[in-house]
Copies of this chain bind each other. A is one copy, B any other.
Amino acid sequence: MLRTHAHTKGGMLVKKGLSETCYRFFTNLSNPTRLATLEKLMKKPMSVNELADSLGQEQSMVSHNLKPLLQCNLVYIKREGKKRIYSVNSETLGELFKVIENHAKKFCPTGGKCILRGD
């Protein structure tokens, strides 16, 4: 299992069994629609249709994509009459994007234009 401080200190980086969590977590976030959704929800909580309009996507697609985000608690939901208002888990996402921002600052000189699997 993933461990912290790697070989240098031998301490736990990621607890036993968290490998699986990581995979789900990252898979969840490795999708442009879901990232765009989070982006929108960061600005303000919205209903599914508001999101769909705002993203220029179909309602069913937005619903489909919200589902895994909800299951991983990356977004929250609350009912308001017929509507369901989604909002982000900014506790986790704030920290997460901070890490990526730091990484990008240091390691992505091209500002995200590095080719992942192109060539």
Enumerate chain A interface residues (CB-CB to B < 8 A).
1-8, 13-15, 17-32, 35-36, 38-39, 41-45, 67-68, 71-73, 88-104, 106-108, 111-117
Question: Is B97 within 8 A of A44, CB to CB?
Answer: no
Given contacts A6-B41, A18-B112, A21-B100, 14 further A-B contacts (CB under 8 A): A2-B38, A4-B42, A4-B98, A6-B42, A6-B88, A7-B42, A13-B97, A15-B104, A21-B108, A21-B111, A22-B100, A89-B107, A96-B96, A99-B99
State which of B5, B32, B72 has its C-beta within 8 Å of the C-beta of A23: B32
In whole angstroms, how far apart are the Cα atoms of A103 and B90 in the complex?
Answer: 11
In whole angstroms, how far apart are the Cα atoms of A18 and B17 in the complex?
Answer: 30
